Amino acid sequence: MNYFNNISKGSFICLFFVLILFNACISDKPTQNKLSGTALGTSYHITYLGEKIDQLESSVDSIVFVVNHSLSTYQENSLISCFNNNTKSLWDDPEEAKHFETDMAHFKHMVELSKEIFDKTTGAFNPSSGCLFNEYLRAKKMNEYMSQVTVISCLEHQGMDKIELDSMGYPFKIDSFVQLNFNAIAKGYLVDLIGNYFNQIHRKNYMIEVGGEVIVKGMNSSEKPWKLGINTPLIDANPLDFFEVIELENQALATSGNYQNFYVVDGKLIGHTLDPRSGKTIINELRSASIFHESCAVADAYATACMTLGLEESKKLVLSDSSLSAYFIYENDSTLEGVFVR
């Protein structure tokens, strides 16, 4: 049995979301507060203990604004859009220019972190493959195969080594055709930034989740570690069908998979995972990769890389770095199995 057979176009389930498990309420439990909303084209959920934080939603919105204005390829007035379009004209507007230094600080951090992970994953994580990602989205929209002429051109104009820092520490391109896209790390980075805000206001017990990427600190309302559910990676699985429930303490978790956002051409499934090294979409035995790290941005990036590398190479990658651990769900003789790698 192949779990990807008989999939109708447009089928969709939520890849991952967080389930908070807690015991029946008792009078001496600390107060539990929740906040939810939308950010980066997805939803976020925050749970924290203690006194209610005044104007938390507006504080989160301001953090989301900063991330979008710096890193969103969907905003024409973002720093990354200007970088990709090789223009500085946006900063002629005083209202935009006042955001430049803050935007650049986040943008520079993403470039430097991405260069580091790009090297450690031998290019399996590659935000400089924006051109390839754009071609994939075009082909998906038109329900056709990616243009090989375009793919070859994109492969010639990518590589984090083609982005350097000038004398002021600002990133610049060696190749003007390079296109950046931080979608595979931005959600995790937003989680980290919100977590930093909670740390700054001295909150010791919280869970922050954005689009399935999560970070926790302290304990839940039952004074136990936060419990998180990892969905069964099947197209027709119930969203409440967890393949594994894990306990998480003072750590981040990001999960990537390859069983949504696909499309079908001539009866062939075109997977969502795009290998930036070859320009090809791939489906391998690895069905989902959950990465644990102190930084959600790092976990997010490595989860993406693992889906490209496949099970065995991903195991080697995680074992080579003591700061990482993982839970992989893979297909073995038509059966789903899971393995922890520490």
In this structure, is residue 275 part of a structural domain? Answer: yes
HSE-CB of 186 using CA atoms within 13 angstroms: 23
Residue 328 has pLDDT above 90, yes or no: yes
Residues in Cβ contact with 256 at an 8 Å cutoff, skipping those fewer than 6 apart = 15, 288, 289, 300, 303, 304, 306, 307
Average pLDDT estimate for 151-172: 96
Average pLDDT for the chain: 90
Report yes or no on 308 lying in a domain: yes
Kindly state whether residue 96 falls inside one of the protein's structural domains: yes
Domain region containing 308: 32-341
pLDDT digits (tens, 9 = 90+) for 281-302: 988 899 999 999 999 999 999 9
Q: Is residue 302 assigned to a domain?
A: yes
Query: Is 142 contained in some domain?
Result: yes
Across 94-98, 264-268, 303-307, 313-317, least confident range:
264-268
pLDDT at 158 over 80: yes
Tell me how many helices (H) and strands (E) the chain has. 9, 16
Residue 109 lies in a domain: yes
How many domains are contained in the chain? 1
Handedness of CA 255, 323, 115, 314 (dihedral sign): negative
| Domain containing residue 193: CATH number | 3.10.520.10
Answer whether residue 313 is part of any domain. yes
In a domain, 67, yes or no: yes
By C-alpha distance, which of 121, 163, 143, 155 is closest to 256? 121
Q: What is the reported pTM?
A: 0.90
Q: CB pairs under 8 A, 24+ apart, for 99-106?
A: 99/66, 99/69, 102/66, 102/70, 103/66, 103/69, 103/70, 103/78, 103/79, 104/70, 104/79, 104/170, 106/66, 106/67, 106/70, 106/71, 106/189
Q: What confidence tens digit (pLDDT) does each residue in 100-149 have?
A: 999 999 999 999 999 999 999 999 999 999 999 999 999 999 999 999 99
Give the pLDDT confidence of 13-41 residue by residue, as tens digits: 333 344 444 343 444 678 999 999 999 98
